[in-house]
Every structure is written in C-alpha cells, then in structure tokens.
Amino acid sequence: MLGVIIRNNKTILLRPSFSSAFRQFSSSAKQMTVRDALNSALDEEMSADPKVFLMGEEVGEYQGAYKISKGLLEKYGPDRVLDTPITEAGFTGIGVGAAYYGLKPVVEFMTFNFSMQAIDHIINSAAKSNYMSAGQISVPIVFRGPNGAAAGVGAQHSHCYASWYGSCPGLKVLAPYSSEDARGLLKAAIRDPDPVVFLENELLYGESFPVSAEVLDSSFCLPIGKAKIEREGKDVTITAFSKMVGFALKAAEILAKEGISAEVINLRSIRPLDRSTINASVRKTNRLVTVEEGFPQHGVGAEICTSVIEESFGYLDAPVERIAGADVPMPYAANLERLAVPQVEDIVRAAKRACHRSVPMAAAA
C-alpha cells in the first residue's frame, strides 16, 4: 500500500508502508537501518495495543523530523499520532497525565536537549509517582529522540543526557546502537509499566545493520538491563553505548592487528546497568576502558569504574581508563568538534596504556 500526502494541491506518493517493507525484509533478512527498525517497532506496538500513541513536534504531517514516524499518521490517524506545538513542557505534561490514566504515550523530543524544557514532568511527575503512590500509580510512558552529538549543531543541540537521567531512581534509561537494539529495546520500552528514557543517536538513523529472522518477528523484544558482548576478547574490556559501540568495535579491530584481544560490551541499558556482565568481563581480561560521548565528570564511565573498583578491584592489572567527551560545551567549528568527542584512536591509545603497550599519558604530555 502506498502512502499519499497532498501538498500544494499535488498528490505525492510515498514509499510503501512498513508492512510491505517488513515483508521484503522477512524474505531477504539482510540489512535494516536504525530508522526503519524504530519505525517498525512503533508500527507493530501501535497495531498490537490501541493504548499506545505517539506525540511530538512534526511526528504526523511531516512524517517525523527524522522520518522515524513515516507512514504512521496515515495508518493510525490524528488521534494516535499527534502533532504538537513547540512546547515540550506542555505536551510532555499531557503525556504523563495520559499515562496516569492507563494510556501508553510515546513522547518524541526533536532532540533530548529540548527535554530540559520538560524535565520537571519527566523527573518529578513520571519518575517519582509510582514510589510516592506506594505502587498505586503506574506511568507507562516512553520519552524518545536523538541524544548526544550530531554534526555541526553547536552546544545547545549536542549534549548527552545518559548520566543525567541515569542518576534518577524511577526511570529506566536505554541507549540502542544497532538495528537489533533499536527494534528490541523500543518494543521493551513501550511494553514496560514504568517511564523509560530512550536515547537514540541522529547519526545512527541511516546506518544499516544485519538483522535475523528472529529480530524481524513481531514478538521480538530485548530484556531491559542486559548488556550484549559484541566482540569477545581476553586482554582488555571496552564498555560503550550508542554510537560509541561502533567506535569501540573499530578500535578492537585495530588492536587485534597489534596482538591485543579486546572484549567490547554494548551496554544497551544505562539504568539498570548490567554490572554483572561488566564485572565478569573485567575478571577475565583484568583491564577496563570505558567510552562515552558525555562529559567526564559524574559520567556513565565513572559509575562503571566505581562498580568495578567495588566488586572486582583485586582482578585489575592496570588502572581503569576513561574515554569521554571534552569537559567543555560542544564547539561549533568542525575541527574543534572532532577534538571534543572521542575518536577511535583515543580508544586504541587507552587500551594500549591499560595493556602496558604504550607510553603512559603523563609521560606523553
């Protein structure tokens, strides 16, 4: 079935709806973009549960700022795909109120930087209500959108909020990397009875990943709070989430050529954090490198380091290495922007230091 929109009295045919694309993927089971993975997860969950609805800026008539909601307005109508004004505090509050009454809103932020306008509703209303009501009020809501650095969008559109929301009891915080992550975790988030912050990455939307028939099945769902070992290794553990998983995997390939076997852990879930998988890996490799785009102070990597120090200190053969974004607001200039976010070579150098295969950072400075 072709989607149709009317613009300036002209009829424009869109690509086939996802049900058609889904059948194509099912027959070939080859590659799927993160964008299509998110779109399919939303489509299937809205089809399965009439309580699920989507709201946010440009999610309907414009098909989504990043085309994540493409085809959904036509399929489900304006009662379940709601275009909102540019007022995050307003529509987030409406979403939380709807969740109080048993609906399952999916609230899209055009960027998580704009969630700051709505943080009172996310933290004080959504995250705390279940505890403050002694379990009488569930808040089944998903807050989703791109998080962290994109390209050339400046400090006010480049902030990573993983550690912000990850520090708040009552929230679950997910950060997908691959199409499998995006599809399985978004389904899990929508089905969950608690508020979930779902941190996507704009630069990953167009990336394609291999998907199996299992991932394409409508019943597919990933567990919240469970990390994935993307690459097994024995010399050093590298933890990462979102876009940085890809960087960690590239670093592991370079390290392998130099005789260093790196184990790469895709965190998937920031809160709850899969401490058992991380510590089991460190007890095997005896070294740890954490990678994240966010600021270093009070970051996700700092929490992972603390967990390892508390539970596996006796297994460490080298100091823990933390790779994070620069401790400055994101520069606009492209050359400075690159210096402000972690690069593959930063991960490689940190892993070599942990394996005592390079000059220590202090000596190299």
CA separation, residue 358 to residues 14, 161, 195, 262 (Å) = 54, 33, 44, 16
Give the start-to-end residue ranges of the domains of the chain.
31-216, 228-355
C-alpha 218, offset from chain centre: 21
Q: How many residues does this entry show for the chain?
A: 365
Place of tokens 């954090």: 273
Please list, in sequence order, all residues whose beta carbon lies within 8 angstroms of the beta carbon of residue 328, skipping any fewer than 6 positions away: 340
Q: Nearest-CA neighbor of 222 among 264, 260, 269? A: 269
Which superfamily does 31-216 belong to? Answer: Thiamin diphosphate (ThDP)-binding fold, Pyr/PP domains (3.40.50.970)
One fold for 31-216 and 228-355: yes
Which pLDDT belongs to residue 230? 98
- What pTM does this model have? 0.89
3-class state of residue 233 by DSSP: coil
Does the structural domain 228-355 have CATH classification 3.90.1140.10? no
Two structure tokens written together for 148? 């962290």
99-119 residue pLDDT tens: 999 999 999 999 999 999 999
Contact, 240 vs 267, CB < 8 A? yes
Q: Which of 57, 157, 200, 202 is catalytic?
A: 157
Local confidence band at 30 (pLDDT 50, 70, 90 cut-offs): confident
Which pLDDT belongs to residue 228? 98
Which pLDDT belongs to residue 5? 43
- In this prediction, residues 33-42 reach a mean pLDDT of 98
Active-site residue, 293 included:
no
Beta strands in 216-338 (DSSP E): 228-231, 236-240, 262-266, 269-271, 288-291, 321-323
Contacts 24+ apart (CB under 8 A), 114-119: 114/88, 114/145, 115/88, 115/143, 115/145, 115/161, 117/87, 117/88, 117/89, 117/92, 118/88, 118/89, 118/92, 118/93
Local confidence band at 357 (pLDDT 50, 70, 90 cut-offs): confident
- In this prediction, residues 297-302 reach a mean pLDDT of 96
Two structure tokens written together for 64? 């989504």
User: Mean pLDDT, the chain, as a whole number?
Assistant: 91
Which pLDDT belongs to residue 87? 95
Q: Nearest-CA neighbor of 233 among 277, 263, 265, 278? A: 263
**Amino acid identity of 63?**
Q
Which pLDDT belongs to residue 183? 98
Cis ω for the linkage preceding 223 (within 30 of 0): no
Two structure tokens written together for 300? 């996700």
Q: Which of 88, 108, 230, 337 is catalytic?
A: 88
What is the percentage of the chain residues whose pLDDT exceeds 90?
86
Active-site residue, 88 included:
yes
